[in-house]
């Protein structure tokens, strides 16, 4: 316990799924957390739950495609928590369609939520971290950011961009003592995964069963990825930057 004692963190997409699990784990390990999400009711509930368990957290409503919103989240962390040490970019969406089926508006939306958000949060967070002596950023990629997948053209493109943007950020901000890494989860039991079944017109039960067809014979849990996030923002990974950590039960293998 206490892997991030005294640290100040922002987690985007923190109202549910991997973002929620990450916010709750960071708080349990001693960090003060800004819960950032577009879902105000969900985000407020997560922050309240953290406080009820003795942690420190506050909710800030944030559209991660808005530079003004991303800046406001960082400014809130500075004003309310006294600084910023950790940023976990978890917010993301998926559209299951090939390039012919995908509309231009859908393409733009997926790229904005999955990629532009990482750029915007990093843009506003990195100067604050640098002024405070450094920090750790973890971006959320995907197994499909490292290999192709069917009927997910915009998602695959966006997650591939996140993986390489992570490397570029690590190179640029390493001299400021800011480590930047990427977690690439496999199929994880979240609302987004279940929405994929609906988008594809498949039975949810059959879809989840297929997703579990990997060496460890199960789909991931949000906690699986949250623990990887914790490792990458803690001192346990003090000499790790620019890397991609695959958390997928052996699926990519």
Q: Which residues of 134-153 are buried (b: 16+ CB within 10 A; e: fewer)?
A: ebbbbbbbbbbbbeeeebbb
Amino acid 154: pLDDT: 98
Tell if the pTM clears 0.95, that is, is over it.
yes
Strand locations in 99-253, DSSP E? 135-140, 178-185, 244-247
Every domain range in the chain assigned CATH 3.40.50.720: 8-185+222-244
Q: What is the pLDDT of residue 1?
A: 66
Phi, psi of 86 (to 5 degrees): -135, 135
Residue 134 has pLDDT above 80, yes or no: yes
The CA distance from 217 to 165, in Å, is 31
Verify whether residue 231 is a known catalytic residue. Answer: no
What CA–CA distance (Å, rounded) separates 123 from 127?
A: 7
Q: What is the dihedral of CA 181, 130, 77, 67, to 10 degrees?
A: -70
What pLDDT, in 10s, does the model give residues 79-119? 999 999 999 999 999 999 999 999 999 999 999 999 999 99
**How far is residue 105's CA from residue 188's CA, in Å, rounded to a whole number?**
26
pLDDT tens track for 31-49: 999 999 999 999 999 999 9
CATH superfamily of 8-185+222-244: NAD(P)-binding Rossmann-like Domain (3.40.50.720)
Catalytic residue among 9, 36, 153, 155: 155
Q: What is the pLDDT of residue 151?
A: 96
Average pLDDT for the chain = 97
């Amino acid at each position: 316990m206490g892997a991030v004692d005294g640290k100040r963190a922002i987690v985007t997409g923190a109202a549910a799924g991997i973002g929620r699990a990450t916010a709750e784990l960071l708080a349990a390990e001693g960090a003060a957390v800004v819960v950032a999400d577009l879902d105000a009711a969900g985000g407020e509930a997560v922050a309240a739950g953290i406080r009820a368990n003795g942690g420190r957290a506050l909710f800030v409503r944030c559209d991660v495609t808005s530079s003004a919103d991303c800046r406001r989240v960082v400014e809130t962390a500075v004003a309310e928590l006294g600084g910023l040490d950790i940023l976990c970019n978890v917010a993301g969406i998926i559209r299951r369609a090939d390039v012919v089926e995908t509309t231009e508006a859908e393409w733009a939306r997926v790229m904005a939520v999955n990629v532009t958000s990482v750029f915007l949060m990093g843009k506003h967070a990195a100067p604050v971290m640098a002024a405070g002596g450094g920090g750790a950023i973890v971006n959320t990629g995907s197994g499909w950011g490292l290999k192709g997948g069917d009927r997910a053209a915009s998602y695959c493109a966006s997650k591939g961009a996140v993986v390489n943007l992570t490397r570029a950020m690590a190179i640029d901000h390493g001299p400021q003592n800011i480590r930047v890494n990427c977690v690439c989860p496999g199929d994880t039991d979240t609302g987004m995964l279940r929405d994929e079944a609906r988008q594809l017109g498949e039975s949810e039960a059959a879809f989840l069963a297929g997703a579990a067809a990997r060496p460890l014979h199960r789909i991931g849990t949000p906690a699986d990825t949250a623990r990887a996030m914790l490792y990458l923002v803690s001192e346990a990974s003090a000499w790790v930057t620019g890397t991609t950590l695959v958390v997928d039960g052996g699926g990519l293998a």
